[in-house]
Amino acid sequence: MTYEIAGSRVVITGGAGFVGSHIVDALLDEGAAEIIVLDNLIRGRRENLEPALRSGTVRLVDGDLRDAALIRQLVEGVDYVYHQAALRITHCAEDPRQAFGVMYEGTFNVLEAARDARVKKVVAASSASVYGEASYQPIDEAHPYNNRTLYGAAKIADEHMLRAFNDMYSLPYVALRYFNVYGARMDIHGVYTEVLIRWMDRIEQGQPPLIFGDGTQSMDFVYVTDVARANIAALIADESDAAFNVATGVETTLSELSQRLCEVMGRPDLQAEYHEERKVNPVRHRLGATALAREKLGFVSSVDLRQGLERLVEWRTETLKTTGATA
């Protein structure tokens, strides 16, 4: 089947968020005729969409995934749905009941509406969290579900709901398992601010980055515009009923990451400060296999870590300057 973005109508949940807003930009570049963003603006920010909203093609609706009637109304008559909205992994741990409503019921509401509206395809955000601690590396899509977090459990459930709706109602879908996404529009001042933002604050103040553990913990860091490209590739590809990694295939330890960030920010003299490891996330190492996404979707990451960190620092500097905020 051919999936065309140009001239299409698209709903994107969580579209004012970090990743979602970049997907909105990519959809505009591809010529989408109408983009409806559903976001409750708890994680998302209207500022992330300001350039897109000026296009006249994007409409922002302040709403919740748990509002089934609203979702049904928004999805009626659209061609495609991007399902990006979710709680953070830490938020899920702190409020399991809310996590259940948003991550399970919310996803069901989206898929039910997509089914009833005869949407052509759903592209949904999953996560490398479904893999848990690696049994082997690089982690390919056949890796077992070793997850031990509520967030990862919800993402596994979402994938299985997608599969069920595909088999029962012929609703095409692709799920994308994001590895460690970073880049412009990360949450600078939120309660669940990412470690890179905290590090940048400290480095700017002449303080060393803090690492909890010995620094050998490693991740696969993928830049947010590459993630947006993967979402476009997943939609237009003649693929369905499948999950793909969105990763770089490059493993970086936290010690290496902190050193590179210090260099990019002009403070190579700063050395990371190590503290006792916090037992928040049981995963110590994560490296994604990229062959399947390359073969089936034609997706290959293009932004290396140095470039990505430079873009992140530049964006943060401009954002703080524009808002008049201080780190």
Q: Is 70 exposed, middle or buried (0-12, 13-18, 19+ CB in 10 A)?
A: middle
* CB 244 within 8 Å of CB 293: yes
What are the tokens at 170? 């012929």
* CB 209 within 8 Å of CB 273: yes
Concerning whether 274 is annotated as a catalytic residue, the answer is: no
Of 82, 151, 182, 223, catalytic: 151
| Three-class secondary structure of residue 3 per DSSP | coil
Residues sharing a CB contact under 8 Å with residue 262, sequence separation 6 or more, in sequence order: 203, 209, 268, 269, 270, 271
For tokens 């880049």, what's the residue?
183
Output the CA angle 4-18-72, nearest 5 degrees.
55
Instruction: Check residue 292 and give left, alpha or beta (phi > 0: left; psi -120 to 50: alpha).
Output: alpha
Q: How far apart (Å, rounded) are the C-alpha atoms in residues 191 and 110?
A: 27
Sheet of 173-178: strand order equals 58-62, 34-39, 9-13, 80-83, 121-127, 173-178, 242-246
Output the CA angle 298-15-196, nearest 5 degrees.
80
DSSP 93-129: HH-HHHHIIIIIIHHHHHHHHHHHTT-SEEEEEEEGG
* CB 14 within 8 Å of CB 20: yes
| Three-class secondary structure of residue 230 per DSSP | helix
Q: How far apart (Å, rounded) are the C-alpha atoms in residues 198 and 206?
A: 13
- How many Cα atoms occupy the beta-carbon half-sphere of 170 within 13 Å? 2
- Catalytic annotation, residues: 151
